[in-house]
Amino acid sequence: MITGSLTIQRLLASMKKLDASDLHIKVGIAPTYRIAGLLRAVDSPPITEEEADHLLDPILTPVQKEKFEASGNLDFSASLPDGDRFRINIFRAGAHTHAAIRRVKAEIPSYQDLNLPPIYSKMVGETTDGLVLVVGVTGSGKSSTLAAMVEQINQTRAENIITIEDPVEYRLTPKKSIVSQREIGIDVSDYQTALRYVVREDPDVVMIGELRDHSTVLAAIQAAETGHLVFGSMHTADTMQAFSRMLEFFPPSDHGFIRSAIANTLRAICAQKLLPALEGFRAKVVPATEVLLGTGLVKEKIREGSDEDLPALINGNTGSDPGEGMHSFTLSLAQLVKKEAVSRHVAMDSAPNREALDSILKGVEVKAATLVSRLKKPGS
């Protein structure tokens, strides 16, 4: 894939040509890209210890080098002249430098680009305050979804948008809104410091890159309670785990207060996981989604601690297009199979409830078979 001497600039530039999502730098193996979800090594000799320790030097500032030497970990962003940006994590392993690099395309994606259901645009368009969470495991597209949500506001409303990110991935260009993007480690030392002052900066919209501890969760809830629209992400597999995670950050004695605060502010939790698309589909990966909306009944259940009732509410939408409202992963997967975006096998492997998905798909198959038989009848 790459010939000649390896430089970090050439390796990064090749990510666009190869449409690679990630690049891994590790001692003892050749540089390795992730392309369409699969790892593929460069046709070159393995990286030596000396090469690994200095390959990223050209894109590190002296301050960043000092921070890495002190902690053994560093998150930062870098960009190329063509506008492509990269989220980079370097870490020490076996006493040498390794790196995991995620490519962030220069253009902010739309909901259509991301193959997200209509409820995302509808929900953001109707929401002016409260808390909106995007959750999923690492590599599930949370940052891209958040960028699309904030960009919708940027394009349609006159708001003061402040983002706090580690690092900044998508650069927002002010349109109808004004935008300030603060990067941890460059513009401000940490999330706690940034969030301590954010409500004094007259924001209408606050985007927090990750709710990762007691301080960030509490700050997000407090900002939402005071009339701001707050977006944030969490590393949880589904909507229900998001509740559990938020509560885990607080002692049991505070759970009643936190439940009440979440009930008062929650607008939506959007969970997603990326799946390999069928060959010929317009994208290489597509998201299966689960959306919990902060309806009156949902808020009542959260306040009462009746979390076990929420899955039934999420599964309540059994209409022809679950993407129009609140829906479960199971319904989303069925819709993806119906639209021939993913294979039945992939959907089944990803289903939280294989029996429920199988039942829905059999219903779809029965309807399709009935239609075909009708079309074959003379006079139809």
Does residue 169 sit in the same domain as residue 265?
Answer: yes
Does residue 272 sit in the same domain as residue 324?
Answer: yes
Does residue 63 sit in the same domain as residue 176?
Answer: no
**pLDDT tens digits along 348-361:** 999 999 999 999 99
**Mean pLDDT, residues 47-69 taken together:** 93
Domain assignment present for residue 368? The answer is no
Alpha-helical regions (H) of the chain: 8-18, 49-54, 62-71, 111-114, 119-126, 142-156, 191-198, 214-225, 239-248, 255-265, 296-304, 310-314, 329-338, 344-350, 354-376
**Mean pLDDT, residues 372-380 taken together:** 49
pLDDT band at 47 (very low <50, low <70, confident <90, very high): very high
Residue 179 belongs to what H/E stretch? strand 178-183
Please give the model's pTM, rounded to 2 decimal places: 0.82
Q: Which of 61, 85, 104 is the last residue of a domain?
A: 104
Q: Which residue has the tokens 């940027």?
A: 154
Domain assignment present for residue 12? The answer is yes
Residue 365 confidence (pLDDT):
59
- The whole domain housing 89 covers 8-104
Q: Which of 104, 135, 165 is the last residue of a domain?
A: 104
Does residue 320 sit in the same domain as residue 193?
Answer: yes
**pLDDT tens digits along 306-343:** 999 999 999 876 555 667 899 999 999 999 999 999 99
Does residue 270 sit in the same domain as residue 297?
Answer: yes
Does residue 16 sit in the same domain as residue 122?
Answer: no
Whether residue 198 is predicted with pLDDT greater than 50 in this model: the reply is yes
Does residue 241 sit in the same domain as residue 267?
Answer: yes
Residue 317 confidence (pLDDT):
64
**Mean pLDDT, residues 234-241 taken together:** 95
Does residue 121 sit in the same domain as residue 75?
Answer: no
CATH number of the domain enclosing 268: 3.40.50.300
Domain assignment present for residue 373? The answer is no
Cis bond upstream, residue 62 (ω within 30): no
**pLDDT tens digits along 12-46:** 999 989 989 899 999 999 999 999 888 999 999 99
Domain assignment present for residue 187? The answer is yes
Does residue 239 sit in the same domain as residue 315?
Answer: yes
Residue 73 belongs to what H/E stretch? strand 73-79
Whether residue 103 is predicted with pLDDT greater than 60 in this model: the reply is yes
Domain assignment present for residue 1? The answer is no
Number of structural domains the chain divides into: 2
Does residue 100 sit in the same domain as residue 69?
Answer: yes
Does residue 100 sit in the same domain as residue 207?
Answer: no
**pLDDT tens digits along 201-234:** 999 999 999 999 999 999 999 999 999 999 999 9
Task: List strands edge to edge, sheet with 178-183.
Answer: 178-183, 160-165, 205-208, 229-234, 130-135, 266-276, 285-293
Domain assignment present for residue 369? The answer is no
**Mean pLDDT, residues 267-287 taken together:** 95
Mean per-residue pLDDT of the chain? 91
Domain assignment present for residue 2? The answer is no
Residue 368 confidence (pLDDT):
44
User: Percent of the chain beyond pLDDT 90?
Assistant: 78
Whether residue 1 is predicted with pLDDT greater than 60 in this model: the reply is no
Going by C-alpha positions, the residue among 243, 242, 226 that lies closest to residue 234 is 242
233 in helix, strand or coil?
strand
Does residue 96 sit in the same domain as residue 184?
Answer: no
